[in-house]
Structure 1
């Protein structure tokens, strides 16, 4: 297993996001690929040369806002998303970020709660699905 942090998209990321969001969740391509990727941090978990899990992170003052969290369909529910997020937590601690925030789709809320995120506010609609803001303090 290998973790990488990139500063722009590559073909692996484009393919995984397209399969997950554009095809899998019917998110319009222009919504997923919103023009904000360049300059953000792209956290990747690779195994045997294959991208298994991904998220993008934006530095905002002393915290990170993450999004586009996805795991390849062939390895879902096998702990790769948790491994990538644990790597992000360590990175955040080492780089003195105090918090991580995200907007979670309703079906992922339980996963995020199990790894220490808390819900903030109420559900709202985004990209055709209910979402809620969540955050986790980094200690």
Structure 2
């Protein structure tokens, strides 16, 4: 099981950024500029540990009426073990506790079915982000 923390310390932030670097920059070829888009400072960050090692990360921006789930990632050798689902459920719980009843995200199209299995529905056509095809999706908690 994943030990998920809302980032509070500098080390937890470094751990979250390390996972994001491995997945988005190293594995998927996203540029440093695209990955660090200037929004990290206004986001709540999450990091997931397995046996003390950071293996999952994400960030959340609270908007007026919804939570925007972003940068959701799991290290390649830890996929297929429901860690992505666990961190998303943790983020959704946080969104609900902050008084929002909807979460939105931009999903890589290859992960669209995964998000649908968690109750998200597609709200846009395909678009490119960081040279990767995406779709916008959302889920209501009402």
| TM above 0.5 | yes
Give how far 1:116 is off.
0.4
Which one of the candidate residues 13, 16, 19 is aligned to 2:19?
16
**Map of 1:25 onto structure 2:** 28
Q: Distance in 2 between matches of 1:44 and 1:62?
A: 24
Task: Looking at secondary structure, tell me which structure has more helix per residue.
Answer: 2
Contact 1:52 1:71 in 2 (8 A): yes
- Unmatched 5+ stretches in structure 2: none
Aligned ranges for residues 1-139 of structure 1 at < 5 Å? 1-6=2-7, 10-139=13-142
Q: Distance in 1 between matches of 2:17 and 2:56?
A: 12
Mean Cα deviation higher: 83-92 or 5-14: 5-14
Give how far 1:84 is off.
1.0
Q: Distance in 1 between matches of 2:33 and 2:62?
A: 23
Give how far 1:107 is off.
0.7
Q: Distance in 2 between matches of 1:89 and 1:10?
A: 20
Contact 1:92 1:138 in 2 (8 A): no
Give how far 1:60 is off.
0.4
Q: TM-score, normalised by structure 1?
A: 0.92
Q: Distance in 1 between matches of 2:7 and 2:113?
A: 28
Task: Looking at secondary structure, tell me which structure has more strand per residue.
Answer: 1
Give how far 1:132 is off.
0.6
Contact 1:4 1:45 in 2 (8 A): yes
- Unmatched 5+ stretches in structure 1: none
Aligned residues: 139
Give how far 1:3 is off.
2.0
